[in-house]
Amino acid sequence: MKIFKLFKEDTWIKPFWGKYRKSLFLALVLGFLTFICGGALMFNSGYLISRSAAHPENILLVYVPIVLTRAFGIGRPVFRYLERLTSHNWVLKLTSELRLKLYHVIEKDAVFFKSKYQTGDILGLLAEDIGHLQNLYLRTIFPTVIAWLLYVFIILALGYFSLWFALVMLLLLGTLVFVFPLISMIVNGAKQERQKSLRNELYAGLTDNILGVSDWIFSQRGTEYNELHAAAQSELLKIKYEIQNNDHKRDFAVQLMFGILTIVLVVWTSSIFPGAHGGAANWIAAFVLSVFPLIDAFAPLGQAAQETNTYQDSLSRLNSLPKERDVEQKKDVKLTAPYEFKITRLNFHYADAQQLVLKDLNLTIKNGERLAILGRSGSGKSTLARLLRGDLQCSSGNLTLNGIPPAKLGDDICHYIGVIHQTPYLFHTTISNNLRVGNEAASAKQMWSVLERVGLKDLVSRMPDGLETIVDEAGLRFSGGERHRLALARILLQDVPIVILDEPTVSLDPLTEQDLIEMFVKQLEGKTLIWITHHLQGLSLMDKVIFIEDGRLTMSGSPQELAHTNQHYQRLLEIDHGILH
Amino acid sequence: MIDKKLLSLPGIRKILTLLAGIAFIQGSAIVGQACFLATTIVELWNGEKLIGQLKWVILFFGCFALRHFMVFYRDKILDRFAAKQSTDIRKQLLGKIFRVGPQVIQANGTGNVTTMVLEGVDKVENYLHLILAKTVNLMIVPWIILTVIWFFDWESGVFLLAIFPLIIIFMIVLGYAAQAKADKQYKTYQILSNHFVDSLRGIDTLKFFGLSKRYGKSIFKTSERFRKATMNTLKIAILSTFALDFFTTLSIAVVAVLLGLRLLNGQIQFFPALTVLVLSPEYFLPIRDFSGDYHATLDGKNAMNAIQKILALKEPKVRQIEIPRWQHSSTFKLKKAIFSYDKNHRALDDVSLSAVGYQKIGIIGLSGSGKSTLINLLSGFLQPDEAEISFEGERAASFTQNDWQNQLIYLPQNPYIFKATLRENITFYNPAATKEQISQAIEVVGLKKLVAELPQGLETIIGESARELSGGQSQRIALARAFLDESRKVLLFDEPTAHLDIETEVELKERMLPLMDQHLVFFATHRLHWMQQMDKIIVIDKGKIVESGTLAELKRKNGAFVRLSSSLRRI
């Protein structure tokens, strides 16, 4: 079974068993005591009634059972309450650790993580996976371990009375503790697998067709899809029905086992506690009645074991993440102005592909230069930006900032280069916290001053809590243009000499785009500006335009030069300007 | 206790009657099981031989098995019933979504709609299963048991009856307290619990600012704060379970002690006392079950309400008129159209336009000016608040006309590519297209290179999570769809090239222009160069048509159009 293999190679669950050992132990003991109290209450009550029925001369003879009955009656709910608190607390502590671990793993690869995984929201998924691990503990691991403890205790206790009967119970309870859960996992495991894949298909199919709903409506083929979906759904229902059916059968069989267990206890007790209107026979009721509370401990084990199958995906997703690596030692290098990039004979291909993304590139970016990198999507221009920041390293050739490859600077690169993306991320916190990402020490005055520079001062001062307003809350949404302005404000606070704009404005309408570009150029005056774009809007504000086609640099020059001498550029300009000519 | 909505489900009366019957048998079996077990124990206690008890033991086991068989049988019935209900609900929901279309999806979000159809309906299924069984059980089983207890020992009966409402009151009071506490903390709670995902999503930004390494500490700290907040709420939240547990277990203890004391005085016999003791946990079992899956039932209830809300959405009933196939002499008129998404703001205000034959009409304006709304109105996705619409002089209430929609091809900014083979995607509007037609379409829209690159050519699966295509390629596929259904003579373009790079746009334009011939075209865009190819241009601003005419006329007028184009070309 896949799940066992996963467990064996796991690095996300097992290492944490040693953590917070005391509270883990406490949680298990409390769980164990809960069931012990439940069983003991009935055991004691059975004895109390039998003993009383024998009319002892002295009431003091039943005094101890009376007190114990009350104690167990109160003990059970109290232990249960404490057990739930302790186990939740432990699991949440673990969650903090797991989150930190996940964060560290992803942080290593932060820049590329999202683009590496095609699945829509891989990060959201991983965060949920950790939530699933919580459930794995609370719903499967804890109940199972507690039942095992109980099992051991019962067998030992019975062994005190009779060795052979302890052996009988070892087998009978053993089937409940091990055989049923195992069978349950195996029999339904395959079906659950099938159920999951069917469900995923349905999900994908439905999402797909809901996204394309307008085409279905126009083509007037909507009912066709509904029938298709219904067919797939009914197959899923069938499997679900089979699984449920197995569950019901198992639950029924488990209950019958308890019936048999009761009878076995009746037989055994009647043989070792011979009755004579009381006497030793007082123990019969005690032993027999204590079976019923135990049902609560052992009956859910099958379901619990079976649930592990549903955590399989989460486990394998987490375990297939790259392992935590050691932080590489970086040298303490300080760069000083003027800053100049030198690129000579650069070739680049990704590690997992042979095809060159950038070929034989030569380029110098001078201090304070405004450079536009123009090209189609997929031409390699974003790759170039990542090479400049040192997130990627060239396959051959050289790329240096003031003579040093940017990758050598490690995280210190952020003192020199700032980046604005197509969709700047705003954290779900206050505006001031979002700005302080740029500079943690920024004062309110500084923040207001950069907000003024990016033209957001009025907007923010009109907000209910000013700088302390939470982004995106209660209908407060920044438009695309405003998000870019905030991103720029962050960069201004960061105060770096070089700024890379990676297609920051392509999703905006032309007027907003024009405004933004003008602002970028004005506010970043004096800094080196590297602007990646795929259309011509605003290019005339640049000192230099280079054109990348299929990884090669195909033209280069000032926009005015190109407009005069380069045919290709002229043609593009002509189309873009179109009717005004 | 049972939602009124449930009582209106088809077949619910029958299932409830059946469940009541099952619960009755179950209750009786529980009583039998307790009596026979007590008899066996009492006889053995009296010193009788085990062999003499065979009869009682068999009867005990029979009752025990019958009781659990009834559970088994009940679950099977409920499985079937719930599955049937969920299938029906799902069918209705899907039908609704595909009839009403984008409106529902936009209002709820694609993800939510998908989740609702799949998981939401599953939750409803689970809810039906749980709530019906538990409620019926609670209404029947405890009272059968209580009657028998009363018969054996009325004093215990009185005690057990009195404790029942007490339990319920405590649970409700504590439940409210927990809710109040949770509500008070909701906001902090929400922020803390989203903090982690938020940080993960913004991790590249943190990296760019060199904060990502240090931020790990903040993750741990916030997570620990979250833990403390959760534990504080939990302490109260599980109090209601504690109360239930406490009262039931303690009641059993009290019953046992009282029985013991009265046995000592000889006020009661051993057999009835033992039977009452065995029965008392069973008396509380249904209420414990009932409160057990509280969250699942709550989820199910919420899901059910959300689904009902969509199912109750009004479907526009538009009188269908006959519209002949569009040809060079066809006309339609739209007068004084008003549309608003919300009350305070008109997205379209007094819009009038007319179309004749194979005109090409450009709609130009900035984002938010109402271009897309106009296109959506023309496509029939939106119903105008007011408008006079006429086709060839015949009046219609909106463009939601079958005879109109089956003549349309709609090309949005991101045409949707289904996860299917390239062939299926191309022939979406005309599944019966021949091989020759398909290869011609591929030729015309310039997809030949792509087909050659794909491993299985036309039969390669494309779309989400299969082979992803570039924006230009998607547009070409959408164009091929249009080309393959020549009977559709009306083309609606909504910013088809806004996100493409300039060169791809040029290549695409060359392919698109011939296709527009012999079609009525509405072309919404803010890219000015398209206007050269339009017969008529409509300039739209803040929902109003501010200017219209041919390109030459508009240039001469030197009005809104010229202002717009120069503001787009300041540099």
Instruction: Chain B: give the shortest CA distance to residue A575, in Å.
Output: 7
Chain A partners within 8 Å of B75 (Cβ): 244, 248
Residue A580, pLDDT > 50, answer no
The per-residue pLDDT for B82 is 92
Question: Domain A2-319 belongs to what topology?
Answer: ABC transporter transmembrane region fold (1.20.1560)
Does B272 reside within a domain? no
Check CB contact under 8 Å for A103 and B215: yes
Positive or negative: CA dihedral A536, A538, A540, A541? negative
Chain A partners within 8 Å of B405 (Cβ): 217-218, 220
Chain B partners within 8 Å of A80 (Cβ): 242, 245
Confidence grade of residue A465 (pLDDT, cut at 50, 70, 90):
confident
Q: Give DSSP secondary structure letters for B199-239.
A: HHHTHHHHHHTT-HHHHHHHHHHHHHHHHHHHHHHHHHHTH
Of A207-211, A516-520, B108-112, B309-313, give the lowest mean pLDDT range: B108-112
Q: Please check whether residue A204 touches B, CB under 8 A.
A: yes
> Domain check: are B410 and B370 in the same one?
yes
Positive or negative: CA dihedral A358, A360, A366, A367? positive
Confidence grade of residue A467 (pLDDT, cut at 50, 70, 90):
confident
Q: Are strands A552-557 and A544-549 parallel, antiparallel or unpaired?
A: antiparallel
Which residue's structure tokens are 């086991």? B61
For the sheet containing B331-339, what is the strand order?
Answer: B348-356, B331-339, B386-391, B394-396
The per-residue pLDDT for B188 is 72
Residue B71, pLDDT > 80, answer yes
Q: Are strands A498-502 and A528-533 parallel, antiparallel or unpaired?
A: parallel
- SS3 for A554? strand
Does B289 reside within a domain? no
Tens of pLDDT along B374-406?
A: 998 898 888 888 889 998 888 888 888 888 888
d(CA A267, CA B465): 63
More confident residue, A576 or B420: B420
Q: Give DSSP secondary structure letters for A348-395.
A: E--TT--S-SEEEEEEEE-TT-EEEEEE-TTSSHHHHHHHHHTSS--S
3-state helix, strand, coil in chain B (%, to 5): 65, 10, 25
Confidence grade of residue A117 (pLDDT, cut at 50, 70, 90):
low
Does B291 reside within a domain? no
Check CB contact under 8 Å for A93 and B227: yes
Whether the CB-CB separation of B417 and B425 falls below 8 Å is answered with: yes
- ipTM greater than cut 0.85: no
Buried b / exposed e across B415-451, counting CB within 10 Å, b at 16+? bbbbbbbbbbbbbbbbeebeeebbeebbebbbbeebb
Confidence grade of residue A474 (pLDDT, cut at 50, 70, 90):
very low
Domain that holds residue B105: 1-149+302-315
Q: Which CATH class is domain A341-426+478-580?
A: alpha beta
Given B196, B242, B568, which is nearest A510 (Cβ)? B568
B108-136 average pLDDT score: 84
Confidence grade of residue A581 (pLDDT, cut at 50, 70, 90):
very low
DSSP-derived letter for residue A177 is I
d(CA B523, CA B327): 19
Buried b / exposed e across A128-164, counting CB within 10 Å, b at 16+? ebbebbeebbbbbbbbbbbbebbbeebbeebeeeeee
Does B293 reside within a domain? no
- Amino acid identity of B165? P
Whether the CB-CB separation of B384 and B339 falls below 8 Å is answered with: yes
For the sheet containing B408-411, what is the strand order?
Answer: B408-411, B490-494, B520-525, B360-364, B536-541, B544-549
> Domain check: are B310 and B415 in the same one?
no
Confidence grade of residue A234 (pLDDT, cut at 50, 70, 90):
confident
Q: Could you check whether the bond before residue A338 is cis, i.e. omega within 30 degrees of 0? A: yes
Tens of pLDDT along B29-60?
A: 999 999 999 999 999 998 888 888 999 999 99
Strands annotated E in B520-565: 520-525, 536-541, 544-549
Confidence grade of residue A330 (pLDDT, cut at 50, 70, 90):
low
Chain A partners within 8 Å of B246 (Cβ): 74, 77-78
Whether the CB-CB separation of A548 and A379 falls below 8 Å is answered with: yes
- Amino acid identity of B300? G
Tens of pLDDT along B420-440?
A: 888 988 888 888 888 888 888
Of A172-181, A322-331, A370-379, B154-163, give the lowest mean pLDDT range: A322-331
Tens of pLDDT along B155-185?
A: 999 999 999 999 888 888 887 887 787 777 7
User: Which tokens is B172 given?
Assistant: 């409700």
A348-374 average pLDDT score: 87
Whether the CB-CB separation of B541 and B560 falls below 8 Å is answered with: yes
Residue A257, pLDDT > 90, answer yes
Domain-by-domain residue ranges, chain A? 2-319, 341-426+478-580
User: Which tokens is B20 given?
Assistant: 């009541």
Does the fold of domain A341-426+478-580 match that of domain A2-319? no
Positive or negative: CA dihedral A555, A561, A567, A570? positive
d(CA A147, CA A300): 10
User: Which residues lie across from A499 on neighbouring strands?
Assistant: A418, A529
> Domain check: are B122 and B208 in the same one?
no
d(CA B570, CA A437): 34
Q: Phi first, then psi: give them for residue A538, nearest 5 degrees.
A: 80, 0
Given A103, A218, A579, which is nearest B551 (Cβ)? A579
The separation between CA B177 and the C-alpha centre of its own chain, rounded to angstroms, equals 31
> Domain check: are B11 and B134 in the same one?
yes
> Domain check: are B195 and B244 in the same one?
yes
Residue B235, pLDDT > 90, answer no
User: Which tokens is A397 given?
Assistant: 């050739």
Closest-approach residue (CA) in chain A for B502: A535
Given B68, B201, B412, which is nearest A425 (Cβ)? B201
Confidence grade of residue B527 (pLDDT, cut at 50, 70, 90):
confident
More confident residue, B123 or A354: B123
| Non-local CB neighbours of B251 within 8 Å, separated by 6+ positions | B159, B160, B163, B280, B284
> Domain check: are B168 and B235 in the same one?
yes
Whether the CB-CB separation of A99 and B226 falls below 8 Å is answered with: no
Tens of pLDDT along B444-479?
A: 888 888 888 888 888 888 876 666 677 788 888 888
B50, burial (CB in 10 Å: exposed 0-12, middle 13-18, buried 19+) = middle
> Domain check: are B308 and B342 in the same one?
no
Q: Give DSSP secondary structure letters for A431-490.
A: HHHHHHTT-TT--HHHHHHHHHHTT-HHHHHHSTTGGGPBTT-TT----HHHHHHHHHHH
Instruction: Chain A: give the shortest CA distance to residue B344, in Å.
Output: 16
Instruction: Chain B: give the shortest CA distance to residue A304, in Å.
Output: 15
> Domain check: are B121 and B165 in the same one?
no
- Amino acid identity of A449? S
DSSP-derived letter for residue B342 is B
Q: Are strands A417-420 and A396-401 parallel, antiparallel or unpaired?
A: unpaired
Whether the CB-CB separation of A547 and A533 falls below 8 Å is answered with: no
Chain A partners within 8 Å of B428 (Cβ): 215, 219
Residue A41, pLDDT > 50, answer yes
How many Cβ contacts (< 8 angstroms) between chains A and B? 415
Whether the CB-CB separation of B40 and B57 falls below 8 Å is answered with: yes
Q: What is the mean pLDDT of chain A?
A: 85
Closest-approach residue (CA) in chain A for B525: A509
- Amino acid identity of A452? E
> Domain check: are B533 and B555 in the same one?
yes
Does B281 reside within a domain? no
User: Which tokens is B478 given?
Assistant: 């959408």
Positive or negative: CA dihedral A164, A165, A171, A177? negative
User: Which tokens is B279 given?
Assistant: 């029965």
A243-264 average pLDDT score: 94
Chain B partners within 8 Å of A123 (Cβ): 197, 200-201, 203
CATH code: domain of residue B375? 3.40.50.300
| HSE-up (13 A, CA, CB side) for residue A95 | 29
Q: Please check whether residue A560 touches B, CB under 8 A.
A: no
Confidence grade of residue A143 (pLDDT, cut at 50, 70, 90):
very high
d(CA A456, CA B14): 65
Closest-approach residue (CA) in chain A for B90: A230
Q: Which of B412, B135, B361 is nearest to A218 (CA)?
A: B412
Does B280 reside within a domain? no
The per-residue pLDDT for A475 is 45
Check CB contact under 8 Å for B44 and A266: yes
Of A7-16, A194-203, A414-423, B241-250, give the lowest mean pLDDT range: A7-16
| Non-local CB neighbours of A560 within 8 Å, separated by 6+ positions | A540
> Domain check: are B457 and B549 in the same one?
yes
Please report which residue ranges of A108-141 form alpha helices under DSSP H: 110-116, 122-135
Q: What is the 3-state secondary structure (H, E, C) of A331-358?
A: CCCCCCCCCCEEEEEEEECCCCCCCCCE
> Domain check: are B160 and B124 in the same one?
no
Residue A119, pLDDT > 70, answer no
Q: What domain count does chain B have?
A: 3
The separation between CA A246 and the C-alpha centre of its own chain, rounded to angstroms, equals 32
> Domain check: are B423 and B499 in the same one?
yes
- SS3 for B320? coil
| HSE-up (13 A, CA, CB side) for residue B372 | 11
Does B428 reside within a domain? yes
Tell me the C-alpha to C-alpha distance, in Å, between residue B180 and each of A426, B170, B225.
32, 15, 20
Which residue's structure tokens are 């020059």? A557
Confidence grade of residue B24 (pLDDT, cut at 50, 70, 90):
very high
